[in-house]
Amino acid sequence: MDYKIPRGTYDILPQQSYKWQKVIDAFRKIAAVCGYQEITTPVFEQASLFERSSGESSDVVKKEMYRFQDQKGREFALRPEGTAPVVRSYVENRLDLGGSNTKLFYIGPMFRYDRPQAGRYRQFYQYGIEFIGSDNPYFDAEVISILWNYLTGLGLRRLRLELNSVGCPQCSTAYDTALRNYFQPSLADLCPDCQLRFGQKPRRLLDCKVPSCKQIAAYAPSQLEYLDDACKVHFSAVQDNLGLMQIPFTINPRIVRGLDYYTNTAFEIVYEGLGAQNSLAGGGRYNGLIEQIGGKSIPAIGFAGGFERLLLALDEEEVELGAPGVPDVYVITLGEAAQKLVLPYLNALRGAGIYAEFDPDKASFKAQLKAADHSQARFALIVGEDEVAANQVTLKNLQSGEQQTLPLEPSDRIIQLLKA
């Protein structure tokens, strides 16, 4: 029987792993210098958590969620996104009672039953930030700046930060009414999904990809015209803060975000070199979500981005992410006595953090030297018959060809030379 990987998933093969490590490490680093701590939640949660937070009519919940029942008939879902689980944990662990700001980040796989294509998978890895505790527009800018600095720090240049405000629930209600008035005359021409959206969340009409719906939506009123005074002041302060941080942005009133829980600031970072799936990351404020999930009423803001599209963008921009590790030293032996001499060494070297390769299956000296060259190791540590007789090892610099003989004990000297 031929086993195949499930559609919409992929293996991260060894020769790509170093790139993943690099972008993951960089994210951990930038989150740490801004005071964010990592949180890890399970990959599955009660399905109702997502229905409650993302909205039962959202595409994610309606069409894309992997649901299953456990042996006792309880309804679970593989998490389609990271914010609701983080907020669930925040509330469950009483972090909302502390009274101070909470700065969290996460990294992990998410699952959506989506139509697979380049940059769109059914299991994908997200990195995300959640700032919980304040409505101060400084924190909107802080969260956005982390994302911006992360992506530009990795070397991406063709980025566009798009910013919008979706207002508070009051402004949203006014806007929904305006949208219904706008779409009402064309209702019969909208796709079946949009006809449902019209009744439920008319803002989702703006997100539809069906060409005829896009055409109808082209002149829809803008959310920004329906912001109340407080939301206008907040939005303008976010822009001022971004300006002071010298982060360039454009206003895009069409950014609605797919999930129900967003309030005020909404943003997306688009990479101009990718095709249809050009959104690298997105996020926004969710001032009502914590209360909705059973906690206190506490404002919050966050974002999530996908590593797959990030790596595609880095490839597209030909950013070098270094290379897979090469050995510091390749150990070469000839004969059984040499191998016995060298094993304690090998162990000491690795214990000291030196990357040492050894392959006793390669019997001949020539084959081992060839393998050492091939591995691009900086040094070869050679123990042949002569070395065994003299209780010595030869350390050869494979780049310069220079070599020196060293007494077999102690290994500290070799460790020093290799670490230099």
Instruction: Return residues touching ligand AMP (CB under 6 A).
Output: 81, 112, 114, 119-121, 124, 126, 258, 279-282, 304-306, 308-309
The DSSP call for residue 206 is G
The one-letter amino acid code at 256 reads V
Q: Which is nearer to ligand AMP, 20 or 182 (CB)?
A: 20
Q: Which is nearer to ligand AMP, 50 or 90 (CB)?
A: 50
**377 backbone dihedrals φ, ψ, rounded to 5°:** -60, 145
CB of 123 to ligand AMP, least distance (A): 8
Q: Which is nearer to ligand AMP, 267 or 379 (CB)?
A: 267
Q: Which residue is closest to ligand AMP by CB?
A: 306
Dist. CA 234–CA 365, nearest whole Å: 72
CB of 289 to ligand AMP, least distance (A): 14
CB of 40 to ligand AMP, least distance (A): 18
**368 backbone dihedrals φ, ψ, rounded to 5°:** -70, -40
Q: Which is nearer to ligand AMP, 21 or 279 (CB)?
A: 279
CB of 313 to ligand AMP, least distance (A): 10
Sign of CA dihedral 213, 214, 216, 217: positive
Tell me the CA distances in angstroms from 1 to 4, 127, one per residue in order.
10, 36
The one-letter amino acid code at 326 reads V
CB of 209 to ligand AMP, least distance (A): 14
Q: Which is nearer to ligand AMP, 253 or 305 (CB)?
A: 305
Q: Pairing mode, if any, of strands 379-383 and 392-397?
A: antiparallel
The one-letter amino acid code at 282 reads G
Q: Which is nearer to ligand AMP, 126 or 265 (CB)?
A: 126
Tell me the CA distances in angstroms from 394 to 384, 411, 417, one per residue in order.
9, 12, 12
Dist. CA 158–CA 136, nearest whole Å: 29
- Which residue, chain included where needed, has tokens 């930060």? 161
CB of 82 to ligand AMP, least distance (A): 8
Q: Are 118 and 308 in contact (CB under 8 A)?
A: no
Residues in a beta bridge with 162: 250, 268
Q: Which is nearer to ligand AMP, 161 or 381 (CB)?
A: 161
Q: Which is nearer to ligand AMP, 220 or 304 (CB)?
A: 304
Please enumerate in sequence order all residues whose Cβ is within 8 A of that of 217, keeping only pairs 6 or more positions apart, or say none: 183, 205, 206, 208
CB of 153 to ligand AMP, least distance (A): 17
CB of 270 to ligand AMP, least distance (A): 9
